[in-house]
Structure 1
Amino acid sequence: MSDDFKRQLQDYADGKLTGNDKEQFELELEKMEAYQAYLGELMGNDEDRHPLVDGSAYKASTPIKEASLLRRSKWRARIQTALTAIGILITFTLISAILTGLFYGLGKRSSIYQDVVSSAIALTRPNLTVSGGSNSNAYFTMDYKGNMKKKIGDSEVSVGDFQLKFVLGWPMGEQTTWHSERNNSNTSLFLLSGSDAASNNQDWATLEKLPEGTVTEAFVSLDKRYTTDELLQKFNGKNMTPVWFAAYTGQERKLGVAELVMNPVGFPAYPLWHAEDMQVTSRSEEKRGWFGKTVMESSISPGIQTYGDGSVRDKNFLDTLHLLQKYATITNRLAPWLPLEPTITYLEANGVKLYGVVVTGPTKELLKLKEEQWVSSIRVGEVRLWNWNNR
């Protein structure tokens, strides 16, 4: 074995050989392993059976030891290469986790995305809200997970689980798990034309059959379009609560002669306050280490009248639509049927007019709506046992 070969062997064992030099040397090792294996077969393990070489006994153990040394060196190099790769992966993961946290934390991007998600669901899925939180991971990904709820009676009832994954700020698909198939009924809930639909509507009969001691969610279609203030006044003094309003946008997809609305758009009775709407009441900062600090802030939302402030609610509705327009990639993922630009244009030009409302309350109180002229028809939603405080 030459000194140059020994040096290369030592460099290979130490992981110093790279590129073409490493490939060429590994080819030489493979050749030597094949030669030595064949030589070992010819010579066997008994040194007395072999001829003398240069006047001395040729020891069969010599090539075997060299082969063992070569194999150990080769495996040592492989393990070192694998450990290096693992180290690089771990380092990259740690760095990407730090950069991911900075990416989603910069400019409160994570909080804004949460606001957009909850707003898109609240405006396009009647009487449905989602509340949850986000968690940034490595590789510039973030997971938003939340619980979907409905207002039925005086309780917020969990109806499903929601998850949305972000990659570099792009939503990659919604995953919704409903607790019941009935919860996933967000189409054909309202009628645009009223006429004699009330007398033929089978859901009135359903309300009559439901027992006392229950509360119901109902989707009420109106006989015409009302302003927000006009509709709110209809509920003043009634033992029920409006929870979601269906707004006419001029973009409705209609089905049938009765004009069933597919995928209605509207807003919750209680406004969707955003960060710019909140009034800061107190703020304090506490230093953490050399460069860090903890900021503690408390704020309150604007007050609103139970059966009034229609202009405030309408403005909040339009502000929320503008927020969804600004983050259209998220909105299009959650509500691909919502044409944002023409919807906003129509509402700004014609004002907010309502053709439907989701109400909840005691079942027998909702049945009284059949006698109201402004009620066109009704569709029964979720029903629960009594959880109501009389108004």
Structure 2
Amino acid sequence: MSEEFKEQLRKYSEGTLPEEEREALESEMEKLEAYQLYLEEQMEREEQTNGQWTKADPAGTDSPGLKKVKKKAEKREKKIIRRGKWKARLVNTITVFAAFIIFMIISNIITIVFYSTGNRGETYSDVVSSAIAVTRPNTTTYLSSDAKSFFRMNLTGKLLKQVGGEKVQMGDYKQTFLLGLSYPGVFNWMDDRNAGNYIFYYPAADGSVSSGDDSDEWNKLDKLPEGTVAEAYLSFDHLFTTDELLKEFEVLNLRPVWFGADTGPSTHDEVVTNPLGFPYDPIWHDDDMLKSEVTTKKTGWFSSVSSYGSVSPAVKPYGDGALRDANFIKTLKLLQQHQSLARKAAPFIELDTSLSYLQEHGVQLYGAVATGPVKELLKLREVSWVSYMRVGEVRLWNWRE
């Protein structure tokens, strides 16, 4: 492009080009886009020097060709800016989405590794289910763990009671973990009575009968149809060893399901408000299980799968009191090792003082939960060692003799 032509363009932009030359130049600019681009550059320089690019010619003295060039330049500039904005938005969105996906993958890997290392998930499940079993009479739960993203894990399970010959669902339980931290467990009862319907009376020091009046409870039991089974909370007039109590139940057509243990001053009040005890079926832990011979099967050149069976130790139906007591103490020691976690499921549990008392005085029982046919439970009214009875859950006949 010659210097002469550039000079014409400069004069054209300033509006000093003669009419004939201006028309010829405008005709040329419409044909040659290169000239138009150069003019835009010239106009941009003019804007930088005097700040009048967008406000040029307020009186309308600009030529039609120059106005057209300016209009095209403005449209092109807006189009470029708009395209740039959308491109930036798209890039930002893709970047954020990719970062989120990467974070989810990393958090899932960390979550799985954390809860599987050292069998943390199984240990947490064992501690929580054990805490519920020893603090809530005749209540058991079998928890399943579910690792979530963002370092979380949920323990969930059904809350079950033994009523007659069957386990009956009373509600649901859920506890959420964030790595090693746990939120309080949530009990969702189908009936609010199950949250604390149990009442036990500790034996009086002089061996007298409990001051609690249970006449209404016996009348309630007496009015139930014969073809029903029920749950009964029993308080005793004196303390039993586990073997002694099992011998008493051996001659009854009833099933003991939970035993309340004397754990020291907290249970020596007339009414036991925070019972601590153990279920009739011992709470076996992983190291209690008897494992069969391990069998290994190759699944590839460098991989194999090992399998084995496991069974719990055998327990006499109405005996092995020492084994049951030892299992109870072992369970409390497990809870003591994970005391903060145990308190999330059983806030009022006093593990240190209870364990010290039990290890010093041995396991002695002040109450129990029994279940069976209503007609059999009514016979307990004539049993001398039962000082108080409270009716729990009732179901239609499901008893197996």
TM > 0.5: yes
In structure 2, the partner of 1:156 is 167
CA contact (8 A) 1:134 1:145 kept: yes
TM-aligned CA deviation for residue 283 of structure 1: 2.1
CA contact (8 A) 1:287 1:294 kept: yes
In structure 1, the partner of 2:39 is none
Name the SS for the 2:184 alignment partner.
Answer: strand
In structure 1, the partner of 2:140 is 129
Name the SS for the 1:134 alignment partner.
Answer: strand
In our comparison, the structure showing a higher alpha carbon Rg is 2
CA contact (8 A) 1:118 1:129 kept: yes
| Residues in 1 aligned to 2:384 and 2:305: alpha-carbon distance in whole angstroms | 57
- Picking from 299, 303, 311, the partner of 2:310 is 299
CA contact (8 A) 1:163 1:174 kept: yes
Name the SS for the 1:364 alignment partner.
Answer: helix
In structure 1, the partner of 2:371 is 360
Moved more, 189-198 or 262-271: 189-198
CA contact (8 A) 1:278 1:299 kept: yes
Which amino acid in the other structure matches residue 190 of structure 1?
F
CA contact (8 A) 1:251 1:339 kept: no
In structure 1, the partner of 2:29 is none
CA contact (8 A) 1:50 1:58 kept: no
Q: RMSD of the alignment, in Å?
A: 2.6
Determine whether 1:119 maps to 2:133.
no
TM-aligned CA deviation for residue 105 of structure 1: 0.6
Question: Structure 2: where are the runs of 5+ without partners?
Answer: 1-47
- TM-score, length basis structure 2: 0.81
Note closer, same or farther for the CA distance 1:253–1:76 as it changes in structure 2 (3 Å cut): farther
CA contact (8 A) 2:256 2:370 kept: yes
- Picking from 208, 218, 237, the partner of 2:222 is 208
Q: In the TM superposition, what are the counterparts of 1:329-368 in structure 2 within 5 Å? A: 329-368=340-379
- Picking from 130, 149, 155, the partner of 1:144 is 155
Q: In the TM superposition, what are the counterparts of 1:273-312 in structure 2 within 5 Å? A: 273-287=284-298, 293-312=304-323
Determine whether 1:193 maps to 2:203.
yes
In structure 2, the partner of 1:320 is 331
| Residues in 1 aligned to 2:76 and 2:163: alpha-carbon distance in whole angstroms | 81
TM-aligned CA deviation for residue 330 of structure 1: 1.1
Q: In the TM superposition, what are the counterparts of 1:228-239 in structure 2 within 5 Å? A: 228-239=242-253
Name the SS for the 2:250 alignment partner.
Answer: coil
Question: Structure 1: where are the runs of 5+ without partners?
Answer: 1-31
- Picking from 84, 103, 108, the partner of 2:95 is 84
Name the SS for the 1:149 alignment partner.
Answer: strand
CA contact (8 A) 1:100 1:141 kept: yes
- TM-score, length basis structure 1: 0.83
CA contact (8 A) 1:251 1:342 kept: no
CA contact (8 A) 2:209 2:237 kept: no
Number of residue-to-residue matches in the alignment: 347
TM-aligned CA deviation for residue 289 of structure 1: 6.1
| Residues in 2 aligned to 1:99 and 1:365: alpha-carbon distance in whole angstroms | 55
| Residues in 2 aligned to 1:183 and 1:63: alpha-carbon distance in whole angstroms | 76
